[in-house]
A and B are shown apart, each in its own frame.
Chain A
Amino acid sequence: MNFRGPFRIRADRDRPFPEIEHPEDAIVKVIRSCICGSDLHLYHGLVPDTRVGSTFGHEFIGEIVDVGSSVEKVKVGDRVMVPFNIACGKCAFCKQELYGQCHEANPQSTAAGGIFGYSHTTGGYNGGQAEYVRVPYADVGPTVIPDWMDPDDAVLLTDVVPTGYQAAEMGGIQEGDTVVVFGAGPIGIMAAKCAWLFGAGRVIVIDQLDYRLEFVKEFAQCEVYNFKHLEDPVVFIKKITDSLGADVCIDAVGAEAAGDTMNTMLGRKLLMQGGSTTALHWAINSVKKGGIVSIVGVYGPIDALVPIGNVVNKGITIRASQASVKRLLPKMIEHVKNGIIDPKAMITHRIPLEEVGEGYHIFSKKLDNCIKTVLIPPSA
């Protein structure tokens, strides 16, 4: 996959084969990769330092075909799921299990950790929307796929499932809490599903796409509302929550939120802020006083408008992070094994890697009721 500029992606046969650059590297032959909602931020040109010639893809699984001299825990032939975070396992942050915040993987930014195929702002690594990919710190992140696990489930454990789970986890959900999830994309769908696992009493999902709301209503047994049919989503949520607001609000949208013209212009069209913050606005204003707002939606590094005064006045706790995939993987594997979570049910499109440009367009434009797209390399 070769990024040529906003809205321009092609599959090239002549991409250089990745090499072992470090003793802890592995080379992985990709079996499945996904297009993530956050890949669309790159595709739409919203993330600074996204260089032409880059290969995207931070959700992938594959078979190890080569390892560096220091790699001990995985070997050639292992089929592994690769967390989207690149983590050394040794720095102060990794030791605290903040694998999304590793300090030994990204020269370009101290705010962000290293992420596969996600611009030079997260380290300048090529990603897994390819046939082969270099995987640093192979003893830390990659996890062998259990024999019983479907590869379509496995690939969704590299980001979507743990991110949705951590969104709910960061909400500090208590038994009986009302949880509102903004966004019915794959992350929002999974966050809604996982909110129940923490004992939520009511789960509500807000989006503007009816087909996605129908899906999440079935998949996560939750209430759904289309904000296009609401005069003011915040007032509506207040009305249905005793006029006090939800206990927990989750922003599962991030930089490309619709619903507010000013935010759309500033964040998505003029690129004058780190994305459109509409979903975050609604989350802050819909949560009750003393409530918790959990953010897993991805924003760019540039400043963004948020109603910070309301955060202070309402005494809200904001919790946000890139998911710590390695920390959560064992639990997610158990949940899949026990049938609590069925990730592959979200997959709507399986597209050959050679048609990656079509895959991005379908996902970006939400064509053909697209929810989750999996790319399959020709050699898989």
Chain B
Amino acid sequence: MIGDETKPEDFRNKRGGDHSHIKGWGVDRDPKNDPTYPMKHRTDEEIEGYTWERPEQQPVTVEVLKSVERPNIPAVFGNTVPPSGLSGALRRLAFKYSESSYGRWLPLVMADRIGEIEGIFEDLGNGHIPNLFAEHGLKSEWKYNRKNFVLKSAVTAAAIAGAILLFTRKKKD
């Protein structure tokens, strides 16, 4: 976990320039031996690092979570669905870890599942009752895969009926 506020200079790659003290340095250099060709066109700026002229910075008007592996927010970013609620708290926790850590990804997976539940409450709060039949695209299941649809519906109905029966019987006992 990276806890410190990382500064841009911490990311600087000090390559050095003079390798003349290393006997044989570069004698077998072969620019054509590049497995990234042709996806990557090498330029003279290849090793200059984080020095390009950056585009203008998009104003940060919502909370944007940033990877700890970069020193700044990129010039543009998406500002949709900023973190909120319990899922948002989990996302903030996740972003304290690097991208190579499970600490980064597993809380995000959990936050996504919690976000789904929060979304249901959000819908209900807005007076919107989710139409699960339409959201799951079940019209097409009925149209193209009717046998499976009927079978699954029957199994689900039986399971629900069984659960209700079990619950009510225990209560009576």
Residues of A within 8 A of B (CB): 4-10, 21-25, 45, 48-55, 70, 86, 88, 90-92, 95-98, 103-111, 114, 120-121, 123-126, 136-137, 166, 169-170, 271, 300-303, 317, 319, 321, 324, 327, 357-362, 365, 367-368
Q: Which of A95, A106, A301, A327 contacts B105 (CB 8 A)?
A: A301
Q: Which of B74, B81, B91 contacts A53 (CB 8 A)?
A: B81
**How many Å lie between the Cα of A121 and that of B39 in the bound state?**
23
Place the interface of chain B in its size category: 35 or more
Which B residues are in CB contact (< 8 Å) with A303?
102
- Give the residue name and chain of the A residue nearest to B43 (CB): A95
- Give the residue name and chain of the A residue nearest to B42 (CB): A96
**Shortest distance between the CB of B99 and any CB in chain A (Å):** 6
**How many Å lie between the Cα of A324 and that of B43 in the bound state?**
17
Question: Quick one: CB contact mask for B132-143 with A, threshold 8 Å, 1 for yes?
Answer: 101111111100
A105 and B76 contacting across the interface, CB-CB below 8 Å: yes
Which A residues are in CB contact (< 8 Å) with B95?
108
**Shortest distance between the CB of A136 and any CB in chain B (Å):** 4
Supposing A8-B136, A137-B76 touch, asked if A52 and B55 sit within 8 A by C-beta, the answer is no
Q: Which of A21, A110, A123, A302 contacts B59 (CB 8 A)?
A: A21
**Shortest distance between the CB of B75 and any CB in chain A (Å):** 4
Which B residues are in CB contact (< 8 Å) with A368?
140, 144
**How many Å lie between the Cα of A123 and that of B49 in the bound state?**
22
Which B residues are in CB contact (< 8 Å) with A21?
58-59, 76, 79
**How many Å lie between the Cα of A107 and that of B50 in the bound state?**
15
B76 and A8 contacting across the interface, CB-CB below 8 Å: no
B74 and A105 contacting across the interface, CB-CB below 8 Å: yes
| B3 touches A (CB below 8 Å) | no
**Shortest distance between the CB of A23 and any CB in chain B (Å):** 6
A137 and B69 contacting across the interface, CB-CB below 8 Å: no
Question: Quick one: CB contact mask for B76-88 with A, threshold 8 Å, 1 for yes?
Answer: 1111110000010
**How many Å lie between the Cα of A360 and that of B42 in the bound state?**
40
> Which stretch of B14-22, B112-120, B164-172 is in the interface?
B112-120
Which B residues are in CB contact (< 8 Å) with A50?
112
**How many Å lie between the Cα of A125 and that of B64 in the bound state?**
12
| B30 touches A (CB below 8 Å) | no
**How many Å lie between the Cα of A53 and that of B128 in the bound state?**
14
Supposing A22-B56, A120-B65, A302-B105 touch, asked if A96 and B78 sit within 8 A by C-beta, the answer is no
Which A residues are in CB contact (< 8 Å) with B76?
21-22, 24-25, 86, 88, 104-105, 114, 136-137
Which B residues are in CB contact (< 8 Å) with A104?
54-55, 74-76
Which B residues are in CB contact (< 8 Å) with A321?
39
B145 and A367 contacting across the interface, CB-CB below 8 Å: yes
**Shortest distance between the CB of A66 and any CB in chain B (Å):** 16
B137 and A361 contacting across the interface, CB-CB below 8 Å: yes
A108 and B55 contacting across the interface, CB-CB below 8 Å: no
| B173 touches A (CB below 8 Å) | no
**How many Å lie between the Cα of A125 and that of B62 in the bound state?**
13
Which A residues are in CB contact (< 8 Å) with B70?
103, 107, 110
**How many Å lie between the Cα of A271 and that of B109 in the bound state?**
8
Which A residues are in CB contact (< 8 Å) with B99?
109-111, 301
Supposing A55-B80, A114-B76 touch, asked if A108 and B46 sit within 8 A by C-beta, the answer is no
**Shortest distance between the CB of A10 and any CB in chain B (Å):** 5
Which A residues are in CB contact (< 8 Å) with B40?
96-98
Q: Please provide the 6 A-B residue pairs with the shortest distance between their CB atoms, ordered closest to farther.
A: A361-B137, A124-B78, A5-B116, A125-B78, A52-B119, A48-B108
**How many Å lie between the Cα of A51 and that of B120 in the bound state?**
13
B42 and A52 contacting across the interface, CB-CB below 8 Å: no
In the complex, given contacts A91-B54, A301-B105, A302-B102, what are 13 additional A-B residue pairs having Cβ atoms less than 8 angstroms apart? A8-B130, A8-B135, A10-B131, A24-B55, A52-B119, A95-B52, A97-B39, A108-B67, A110-B70, A136-B76, A358-B139, A361-B136, A361-B140
B112 and A48 contacting across the interface, CB-CB below 8 Å: yes
B79 and A52 contacting across the interface, CB-CB below 8 Å: no
B102 and A96 contacting across the interface, CB-CB below 8 Å: no
**How many Å lie between the Cα of A357 and that of B95 in the bound state?**
31
B135 and A90 contacting across the interface, CB-CB below 8 Å: no
Which A residues are in CB contact (< 8 Å) with B28?
none
Supposing A22-B56, A90-B54, A367-B144 touch, asked if A6 and B116 sit within 8 A by C-beta, the answer is yes
